[in-house]
Structure 1
Amino acid sequence: MNVLVVAAHPDDEVLGPGGTVLRHAKAGDDVSVLIACTGTNLRYGSEETAELLDAAREVGELLSVRLVLGELPDQALDTLALPTVVEVVEREIAAAGAEVVYVHHWGDINRDHRILCEATVVATRPYAAPGVRAVRCFETPSSTEWGPPGQAPFVPNLFVDVADVLDAKIDAFGRYRSEVRPAPHPRSLDALADRARYWGSVSGLTAAEPFAVMRDRW
Structure 2
Amino acid sequence: MKKLNVMVVGAHPDDCEGGCGGTALKYVKAGSRVTFVSVTDGSAGHQTLGRQELAKIRKEEAQASANISGVTSIVLKHRDGELEPNLEARKEMVRLIRKVQPDIIITHRLNDYHPDHRSTSQIIEDSSYLVMVPAICPDTPALNHQPAIFFVYDPFRRPYPFSADVVVRIDDVMEEKLKMTGCHKSQYEAFLPWMAIKQGEIRTDYDVRNYPSDAITQWDRKVAEQYQDALKQRYGHESTTQYAEAYEMSEYGMEIPRADLDEYFPR
TM-score, reference length from structure 2: 0.70
Q: Which residue in the other structure is 2:101 paired with? A: 97
Counting aligned pairs with the same residue, the percent is 24
- Partner SS, residue 209 of structure 1: strand
Question: In 2, distance between residues paired with 1:47 and 1:108?
Answer: 28
Matches within 5 A, 1:38-57: 38=41, 41-43=43-45, 44-45=49-50, 46-57=52-63
Question: In 2, distance between residues paired with 1:42 and 1:163?
Answer: 32
Matches within 5 A, 1:62-211: 62-78=68-84, 82-125=86-129, 127-128=132-133, 130-139=144-153, 144-145=154-155, 150-180=158-188, 181=192, 188-201=212-225, 202-203=227-228, 204=231, 205-206=240-241, 207-211=243-247
Q: CA deviation at 1:130?
A: 4.8
Given that 1:101 and 1:132 are in contact with CA atoms closer than 8 Å, whether structure 2 keeps it comes out as no
Question: In 2, distance between residues paired with 1:198 and 1:125?
Answer: 34
Question: In 2, distance between residues paired with 1:49 and 1:14?
Answer: 18
> Between Structure 1 and Structure 2, whose CA radius of gyration is higher?
2
Given that 2:11 and 2:40 are in contact with CA atoms closer than 8 Å, whether structure 1 keeps it comes out as yes
Structure 2 alignment gaps of length 5 or more: 134-142, 203-210, 232-239, 258-267
- Partner SS, residue 195 of structure 1: helix
Given that 1:34 and 1:92 are in contact with CA atoms closer than 8 Å, whether structure 2 keeps it comes out as no
Q: CA deviation at 1:33?
A: 1.4
Q: CA deviation at 1:164?
A: 1.0
- Partner SS, residue 6 of structure 2: strand
Q: Which residue in the other structure is 1:11 paired with? A: 14
Given that 1:85 and 1:116 are in contact with CA atoms closer than 8 Å, whether structure 2 keeps it comes out as no
Q: Which residue in the other structure is 2:235 paired with? A: none
127-136 or 90-99, which moves further after superposition? 127-136
Query: Residues 163 and 73 of structure 1: is their aligned pair in 2 closer, same or farther, counting only changes over 3 Å?
Result: same
Question: In 2, distance between residues paired with 1:154 and 1:82?
Answer: 26
Question: In 2, distance between residues paired with 1:188 and 1:151?
Answer: 30
Question: In 2, distance between residues paired with 1:174 and 1:42?
Answer: 19
Question: In 1, distance between residues paired with 2:101 and 2:158?
Answer: 36
